[in-house]
Amino acid sequence: MTASGDARATRIGARELCRRIDAHGGPMTRATAPDGTIEYTARAMVSWRIAEDAVWHGGVLRGFSESMGPAGEGAITVDRDTVSVDGGRTGAGRWRHLDIGAVQASSSSLQLSLPGERLVQLRFIADSPRRWETLMRRLIADAWKRAGRGRVIEYQPRIVARP
């Protein structure tokens, strides 16, 4: 593998690459909560669904699409049991993983279905939607398992588990 530093590229092994990633705080932005547990957090442009529009063509209703409101810079923070989204002026909230309805990456954004038919979309400023999708799915799967709801087998369009 090749790492760039000091304006020149050097070849390093996978083990060394992992060590350097850990030295920079791990593969994701990480923080330690006051109680000592690990939290993950990332800056993102946050927007919320404000409406659903009908899509018509040739006099036939083909389906619906969502309209997202204006995006505001904010952050997502997750711990073992909850996810918090702070969208600045656009809104904020905190939910249990058990209450999340669906998780999906859409293009370069992460979408979470929240209680009350709410939908939040996060476009990460310096992080990967793929990694956040994986992290969220893992946390939700763990929460469902701990709550005795079974093994999660699907995360969209709704979370489905098998005993």
Residue among 80 and 96 whose Cβ is closer to other proteins: 96
In the complex, the smallest distance separating the C-beta of residue 8 from other proteins, rounded to whole angstroms, is 23
The tokens of 96 are what? 């249990």
> Which 61-100 residues touch other proteins, going by CB under 8 A?
61-68
The reply on whether position 156 binds other proteins by CB under 8 A is yes
Measure the CA–CA gap between 162 and 15, rounded to whole angstroms. 37
Residue among 37 and 65 whose Cβ is closer to other proteins: 65
Dihedral of CA atoms 138, 31, 77, 101 in degrees, nearest 10, equals: 10
The reply on whether position 28 binds other proteins by CB under 8 A is no
- The answer to whether residues 122 and 60 touch, using CB atoms and an 8 Å cutoff, is no
Q: Whose CA is closest to 158, among 123, 120, 112?
A: 112
Alpha carbon distance, N-terminus to C-terminus of the chain = 42
User: With CB under 8 A as the contact rule, which of the stretches 29-37, 40-48, 53-61, 82-90 interacts with other proteins?
Assistant: 53-61
The tokens of 48 are what? 């919320």
The reply on whether position 130 binds other proteins by CB under 8 A is yes
What are the residues binding other proteins (CB under 8 A)? 52-53, 55-58, 60-68, 101-102, 104-107, 111, 113, 117, 119, 130, 153-154, 156-158, 160
